[in-house]
Amino acid sequence: MFVREAGHGPLVVLCHGWPELSYSWRHQIAALAAAGFRVAAPDMRGFGRTAAPADIGAYTIFDTVGDMVALVAALGEKKAMI
């Protein structure tokens, strides 16, 4: 999963919608980092630089939630504001 990161502090995860990319959050990433937050903005499953599973069944809300839970854990955190 491709993730744009910036800042230090409590973790904020910015999830884009369809058909956006993490790049859409560039201004918010800078502002939140300047305000004292650690910001992570992934390219969601199937978008941008993140892998796109061929199986259409791999795009459920449960998969999306699982991706975000895994991202928070991979960043070494136990909780985040999403």
Residue-wise pLDDT for 26-42, tens only, equals 999 999 999 999 999 99
- The Cα-based distances of 7 to 71, 74, 76, 81 in angstroms read 16, 16, 15, 14
| H-state helical runs in the chain | 26-34, 61-74
Q: Percentage of the chain surpassing pLDDT 70?
A: 100
| pTM to 2 decimal places | 0.93
Confirm whether 14 is domain-assigned: yes
Domain that holds residue 22: 3-74
Confirm whether 79 is domain-assigned: no
Cα diameter, the chain: 40
Confirm whether 53 is domain-assigned: yes
Mean pLDDT of 41-55: 98
How many folded domains does the chain comprise? Answer: 1
Mean pLDDT of the chain, nearest integer: 98
